[in-house]
Structure 1
Amino acid sequence: MREVEDIRKDLLEIFGRVLQRPAIPPEVSFFDLGGSSLAAIQIAAMVEERYGIPMDVIEVFETKGLEDLSLKVHSRLA
């Protein structure tokens, strides 16, 4: 099973690539990072592809930060 820290690093990479930001503070919400509906769709698809788990776009919208989303992914992999 993957560790939460590894998942967080992966998500930092995904968010950075999609949102075109070099640094993503882990406690900042998706919308506060400038996220859009298209970006949420891309992030959800990339998470599904990388981890082989379902990820709803709503979950990306509702995330309180990368820590929150990292824990959700980790729990689904358990």
Structure 2
Amino acid sequence: MLAFRAPQTSARGGTDLIASAFGLTPAEARVLRALVDEPDAKQIAERFDVSLVTVRNQIARMLQKTGTTKQRELIKLVLSNDLPIL
């Protein structure tokens, strides 16, 4: 029996796609990818071992770059673009 499955996108590949699609830095793209799974900035800061201020600043820059005004809008924008990020 043969089984086929779609190739998995690596975490790095997904981050690169997000960065190029939305004009983000690699660090911003990493945070945005994490926001899709965990919309809590404090937990993301702990996960990446950076300050909460850093994560909040990155989110603010992403909102500005994407023309969104809320974190929820930003996540919807990413998910609506059918990027293989998950």
- TM (norm. structure 2) is 0.37
Larger RCO, structure (CA 8 Å, separation 6 or more): 1
